[in-house]
Amino acid sequence: MRKMGEMPYYAKLGKIPAKRHIQFRRPDGGLYSEEVFGTEGFVGATSTIYHLHPPTQVTGWRTLYKCAPEYVEVDVMRMRHTRSAAMPPKGDPVTGRVVLFGNSDCELSVCVPAEPMKYHFKNATGDECLFVHHGNGTLFTSFGTLKFRARDYLVIPKGIVYRMVFDEAMDGEPNPRFLLIESVNGSHIVPPSRYLSKATRQFLEHAPYCERDLRIPELPLTYDKLGKFEVRIKSRSTVHAYDYTYHPLDVVGWDGCYFPYIFNIDDFSPIVGKHHMPPPTHQTFEAHNFVICSFCPRPLDFHPQAIVVPYHHSNLDSDEILYYVSGNYKARKGIESCSLTLHPQGIPHGPHPGTIEASIGATHTNELAVMCDTFRPMFPTRAALEMDDQAYPQSWIGAAAPFAATSNGRAIGDSKSKPKNKKQASGKQAPSASAANPSGNADTW
Ligand SMILES: [Fe+2]
């Protein structure tokens, strides 16, 4: 496994002693319990945390339920469109997760929770990256409190105990909903290495976001309560339950480079160009064998003859999954908010027929989408098939442009097939339906 980037900076919260591994006493004279929270065998990102109680004091282990996704159609390779908008609310922010696609590196779920979590949870299998589509709330973690809102990415590294609480939706507001991409191959979800200084791990000038955009845990941190508290742990494709005799968020202080944080997608500064920029410019996070990208509203390419939608492409080493958040998808057949599309590495993909020509002259896109690219094929679950748009693989059939080759044998470039006016030929596009409504472009890859 290649060495990944890691959280770029050191942070601390609460009370910590002057040195590591020295006596650090509670007001009653007893010792706080120090725990080194380390990754990659203690040579990766690490934090040191101080508990009111020894973190080893857990009992009552129970196996609650299996959570290994069952993949179907693993030998079927086709483009897929999964409509998740009508998914009914169910479960809580953990039990309500519905895995739609996955492989041995990552799992992608959608969650529309119906009820609050009555317990705390830790994912001991991998890191979680939640994209909050709808809803506001609070993430209570062993590293402190994080207020979240719609369009936030919540990065919760492996092993951190948390409880996710959504505020009640007001009348007319959509039910809370989030997309979850989690690692299941032991790797961590981190900012791309190439955005960070090799010497200091500081975000470099070309990075589309930086430390100022990351929201890290704040007070309150410590819950000093005795009782019976359930903590559920995801590990070995199973969710287990453990009992704590004290509130599991009993940390009085921590410091280090391993902690949960939030990044709002509207704080991503898109990189734009004279010609169409490739998907890696949208990259937001990476892990071993998969990346997460943010396609945000932005000005489009400014060469006078620019084609402002993506070219057809074969991403030969990757499957690509897009989750559509908001924007105008009129140029994309059948796509709606909460749609997911899967384009496997074996088939070229790109704009729908007619959309290249229609996009010329547009100056902005207002689409917002999250993409997960994987280096190994992504397989659907039965839940994904239940929301499958069977017509999607056929949706690329049709004339690519008004003057493309036709069945009567007329070739592209034939004098009868020329652009209708000089402005169109020169790239100085006359106002068109798309230019008048520039938000109509499908610009996601
Ligand atoms: Fe693509």
β 214-215/261-264 pair status:
antiparallel
Residue with tokens 């499957």, as numbered in its chain: 319
> Six-digit token pair at 193?
């290495």
Measured in Å, residue 205 CA sits from the centre of ligand 1 at 26
Measured in Å, residue 150 CA sits from the centre of ligand 1 at 25
Q: Taking a C-beta distance cutoff of 8 angstroms, is the pair 216, 11 a contact?
A: yes
β 226-235/120-123 pair status:
parallel
Sign of CA dihedral 83, 86, 87, 93: positive
Please calculate the CA angle 19-22-216 and round it to the nearest 5 degrees: 50
Measured in Å, residue 351 CA sits from the centre of ligand 1 at 9
Report d(CA 176, CA 96) in Å as an integer: 11
Measured in Å, residue 78 CA sits from the centre of ligand 1 at 14
What is the model's pTM? 0.90
Measured in Å, residue 263 CA sits from the centre of ligand 1 at 24
For residue 155, what are the CA distances in angstroms to 59, 162, 183, 202, 405?
28, 12, 11, 18, 49
Measured in Å, residue 320 CA sits from the centre of ligand 1 at 6
pLDDT reported for residue 398: 76
pLDDT reported for residue 329: 64
pLDDT reported for residue 319: 97
Q: Which range (150-164, 181-195, 281-295, 354-368) has the least confidence? A: 354-368
Q: Which range (7-11, 230-234, 398-402) has the least confidence? A: 398-402
Of the candidates 215, 444, 184, which has an alpha carbon nearest to the alpha carbon of residue 327?
A: 444
Report d(CA 373, CA 316) in Å as an integer: 11
Under the banding of pLDDT at 50, 70 and 90, the label for residue 418 is very low
Question: Per-residue pLDDT averaged across 1-9, rounded?
Answer: 55
Measured in Å, residue 423 CA sits from the centre of ligand 1 at 30
pLDDT tens digits along 268-326: 999 999 999 999 999 999 999 999 999 999 999 999 999 998 899 999 999 999 999 99
Measured in Å, residue 36 CA sits from the centre of ligand 1 at 41
Report d(CA 34, CA 48) in Å as an integer: 7
Measured in Å, residue 279 CA sits from the centre of ligand 1 at 7
Measured in Å, residue 340 CA sits from the centre of ligand 1 at 13
Domains by residue range for the chain, with CATH: 11-78+86-264 (2.60.120.10), 269-440 (2.60.120.10)
Measured in Å, residue 401 CA sits from the centre of ligand 1 at 20
